[in-house]
Amino acid sequence: MSKLLIGYVEIPKLSIMKDEDIRALDVINLAFGHVIDGDVVCDMEEAVPEMERIRAVNPEIRIVLSVGGWSAGGFSEAAFTAEGRARFAKTAADLVKKYKLDGIDVDWEYPCISIAGIGAAPEDKENFTLLLAETRRALDAIGDRHYTLSIAGGGDGYYTRCTNLGEASQYLDYVQLMSYDLRGGFTVQTGHHTNLYSNQADLSACSTDEGVRAYLAAGVPAEKLIVGTAFYSRMWKGVPDVNHGWMQMAQTTGGYGPGFAELQESYINRNGFVRYWDDEAKAPYLYDGDTFISYDDEESLAEKVSYVNERGLGGIMYWEYSCDESGTLMRALAKAMDRE
């Protein structure tokens, strides 16, 4: 089975998508719809001409509405009752029909975990599966063809502990592992945020590989598991000049850093920053004596594609298209996945 190449694109950014990238992609995840008062809502009228342009370039592409995202609430409340789940599913399916979409991607961050101002409950673990089952039924009820249902899941074991992924997978076309932000906004210790493997000298075992193993152990079929990559960086400042800044205690947490296009233009082996490569983790990083930056590049993406192929996984996805307006990373993925 051919591997999927999936890109998240913020809805206002559809207009910057290049034809060559559209032809290389299998799925575009539109970011984001939201759950408001129990309904799935998203006003995409202004995006309709762009979606028509994209389909003219690649008639086989699937355009899927991603619902949720970081700090986006409403899921726990909607999933708590049968009536709420039915309302969520119906309004999601209504949007699919209204905008001639190809499916729904549920990006609930995160079941059972109340963070970034969203609600949560212990019952989320069971209700998550029930919500997906109801959404699958609503999409199937449209009746004219198969519609995609997918999720984006957290990159570490907290997500598999708080869901029943083995059971939920039966309702899903694929499961996207957000194997990025593995370190960053919560930590003052520097490190890789989207590394393929763990370095034995790392105090944290978080890695893409660890996430994949957790999802497989939870019952996700390998062929349904999609590995995530990052077109953006994480940045720590006030970092001691030890080990090129790696595994050091910074004066800041690892907030969002530049997108890859800006890294290329102003940071990678420029303006005092030196690129280093962790061959154990298969991850690049930058350091200038004070600031540490973790990111994905052409080399790390090629390693992830090889990993997906070797382990029989379902494909690759990335967040987010506009973070690399140079197109470098998209071209690297297309080349590694034989899409050129």
Token pair of 34 as six digits: 């939201």
154 pairs with which residues across the strands? 178
11 within 8 A of 30, measured Cβ to Cβ: yes
Q: Running DSSP on this structure, what letter comes out for residue 3? A: P
Please indicate whether residue 45 is annotated as part of the active site.
no
Distance separating alpha carbons of residues 129 and 132, to the nearest angstrom? 5
Q: What single letter denotes the amino acid at residue 218?
A: A
Q: Say whether 264 sits in a helix, a strand or coil.
A: helix
Distance separating alpha carbons of residues 324 and 231, to the nearest angstrom? 6
Distance separating alpha carbons of residues 191 and 184, to the nearest angstrom? 8
Distance separating alpha carbons of residues 293 and 199, to the nearest angstrom? 17
Q: Which of 52, 60, 77, 109 is catalytic?
A: 109
Spatial CB neighbours of 146, under 8 Å, sequence gap ≥ 6: 140
Distance separating alpha carbons of residues 263 and 265, to the nearest angstrom? 6
Q: For residue 32, say if its preceding peptide bond is cis, omega within 30 degrees of 0.
A: yes
Looking at the annotation, which residues are catalytic?
109
